[in-house]
Structure 1
Amino acid sequence: MPEAERLSAVRDRIARAARLSRHAPEDVTLIAVSKTHPAAAIEPLISAGQRLFGENRVQEAEEKWPKLRDRHTDLELHLVGQLQSNKAEAAVKLFDAVHSVDRPSLVAALAKAIDKAGRAPLLFAQVNIGDEPQKGGCPVVELPKLLREAEAAGVGLSGLMCVPPAGREAAPYFALLAKLARDNGVPLLSMGMSDDFETAVMLGATHVRVGSALFGPRG
C-alpha cells in the first residue's frame, strides 16, 4: 500500500476512535515513528502531508534529519526512545519533544541543556506502567516526586508516556496512565502504537506513536 494511503487510513482510524469516545479527532497528534527508516522512506509521508515524526536514538536522528529539515522547514521531531543523560544537550538542540524523561539525573541534564540552548522541548515523563524491571521509565509510585523535581528544576513535564507490557491487553495500562495524568494535573498523554493506538485514543491519548502501520513492516 502506498504511503499516502497508509497515512490516510491511520488518520481515519484515529478520527473514528476519537468520535466513538467523544474526543475531538483534532486533539490527537499522530507521531510517525521513523526509526530505522532512511530518508527515502520518510519523504513520501512528508509529501502526503505528515509533519511530525519520532525517532528512538539521538545519533540516528542526527544522521538523517538535518538534511530533511533543510528541505522541509516545518517538520517537528520527537524523541520517543530512551535518552542517556550525556546526550541531553544534543537532544535539546535537535528535538521538539522528548517522551522519555524517567529519572532525576536526566531532569538535571535536560535543565542544564535547556538553559544553555535557550530552547525548551516539550517534555513527557515515561512511566514504567507495567512495573517491568527490564524497561525504562519511572516507577508509578515515584512519579509525583519526579514531577516535583522537574518543576523545581524549571523544566516542568507536560505529559506522561508509557509502553504497556507486550502480549497483554493494553487498555488497563492506558486507563491507569490517564488516571495518573488526571491525579497529577498533567495534560498530555503519549500512548498507543501501531497495534493499539485506537484503544489509546479512546482512553484519552493526545499523542500516538505509529510506525509499522505507516511505513510497513521493517525488513
Structure 2
Amino acid sequence: MNTIVQHLQLVHDRITAAATACGRREHDIQLLAVSKTKPAADVQAAYAAGQRQFGENYVQEAVDKIKALKTTCPDICWHLIGPLQSNKSRLVAEHFDWVQTVDRLKIAQRLSDQRPVHMRPLNICLQVNVSGEASKSGLLPAQVEALAEQVTELPGLRLRGLMAIPEATGDREKLGAQLLELKQLFDRMAEKHPQLDTLSMGMSNDLELAVACGSTLVRVGTAIFGSRNP
C-alpha cells in the first residue's frame, strides 16, 4: 500500500511541475484517481494518503465499492467516467457525485428524474468527441451548446464542464491541437454558462501536455494504482 502513497506523491509532483512550467497554479488542477478494476482496499489506501476524488468506469463495480467504503471513507467524491447505459442510470443517480460522460439528452433526463430529492444536484460534464473518431462516444463540438442549454434546464443536474478522451496517438502535436480545441470550446461555453469550472482532460501519459493546454482535472489511474487488472 505504501507504493500507492508514493505513486500519488509522484503524480502530484508531476502536476506541480507542469503547472509551474506553464505559469499556472498547481491548486487550479485537481487530481482524479481512476480506480476502475482496483479493489476497495486500494481506494482506501489512496484515501488515507489524502486523495478524495475517485473515478470509476463500470457502474456495478463502482456501486459495490461506494457501499463498502461508505463508513470508512465518508467524504469520497465519486465520478463516473465510463459509458452509461439507460438501465444503469438510477444506480448512478443514487450513488455518484459526478457524471463526466453525458452526451445524450435521454441520459441527462433520466439522471435528473432519478436523482433523489435529498441529494445535491448531480454534477455533469458533457463528453466531447474532439478527435471526431467514429468509434468514440461523445458529442461533436458543434453539438455541445444545444445539449448544454437542455441540461441547464434539468433540476436534478448541475452542468460543470466538458470532458474528452483525445485520440490515442503518439503525435504530440496532433494531441496538443485536440486538447487546445477543447480548451477553446470550453472558454466559449463558459462565456454563456459562467458556472462551468471543470475541463477534464489528461491521463497518466499526457497530463503535462493537458495541464499546459488548460486542463483543470486530470484523470490518472495507472500511474497511481499500476496496470489495470484483467
Shorter chain as denominator, the TM-score bin is: over 0.9
1:181 is aligned to 2:186: yes
**Contact 1:56–1:79 (CA under 8 A) maintained in structure 2:** yes
Residue 91 (structure 1) aligns with: 92
For residues 116 and 74 of structure 2, the distance between their equivalents in structure 1, rounded to whole angstroms, comes to: 24
Aligned residue among 122, 147, 161 for 1:159: 161
1:197 is aligned to 2:207: yes
TM-fit CA distance, 1:43: 2.4
**Contact 2:44–2:73 (CA under 8 A) maintained in structure 1:** no
For residues 180 and 215 of structure 1, the distance between their equivalents in structure 2, rounded to whole angstroms, comes to: 32
Alignment of 1:72-87 (within 5 A): 72-87=73-88
Residue 111 (structure 1) aligns with: 112
Equivalenced residues, count: 219
Residue 137 (structure 1) aligns with: 138
TM-fit CA distance, 1:108: 1.2
For residues 4 and 148 of structure 1, the distance between their equivalents in structure 2, rounded to whole angstroms, comes to: 41
TM-fit CA distance, 1:104: 1.1
Alignment of 1:37-48 (within 5 A): 37-48=38-49
Go from structure 1 to structure 2 and tell me whether the alpha carbon gap of 1:92 and 1:104 turns closer, same or farther (over 3 Å shift).
same
Identify which range, 135-144 or 167-176, moves more after superposition.
167-176
SS of residue matched to 1:17:
helix
Residue 217 (structure 2) aligns with: 207
For residues 86 and 67 of structure 1, the distance between their equivalents in structure 2, rounded to whole angstroms, comes to: 22
Residue 177 (structure 2) aligns with: 172
TM-fit CA distance, 1:119: 2.8
TM-fit CA distance, 1:68: 1.3
List gaps (5 residues or longer) in structure 2.
191-195
Residue 2 (structure 1) aligns with: 3
For residues 40 and 183 of structure 1, the distance between their equivalents in structure 2, rounded to whole angstroms, comes to: 41
Identify which range, 63-72 or 189-198, moves more after superposition.
63-72
Residue 193 (structure 2) aligns with: none
TM-fit CA distance, 1:122: 1.2
**Contact 1:192–1:200 (CA under 8 A) maintained in structure 2:** yes
TM-fit CA distance, 1:159: 0.5
For residues 49 and 24 of structure 1, the distance between their equivalents in structure 2, rounded to whole angstroms, comes to: 19
Go from structure 1 to structure 2 and tell me whether the alpha carbon gap of 1:156 and 1:67 turns closer, same or farther (over 3 Å shift).
closer
Amino acid at match of 2:189: N
TM-fit CA distance, 1:184: 1.1
TM-score by length of 1: 0.94
For residues 183 and 153 of structure 1, the distance between their equivalents in structure 2, rounded to whole angstroms, comes to: 21
TM-fit CA distance, 1:87: 1.9
TM-score by length of 2: 0.89
For residues 93 and 104 of structure 1, the distance between their equivalents in structure 2, rounded to whole angstroms, comes to: 19
For residues 167 and 59 of structure 2, the distance between their equivalents in structure 1, rounded to whole angstroms, comes to: 24
Amino acid at match of 1:199: L
Identify which range, 149-158 or 32-41, moves more after superposition.
149-158
TM-fit CA distance, 1:45: 1.4
**Contact 1:128–1:140 (CA under 8 A) maintained in structure 2:** yes
For residues 80 and 116 of structure 2, the distance between their equivalents in structure 1, rounded to whole angstroms, comes to: 19
List gaps (5 residues or longer) in structure 1.
none
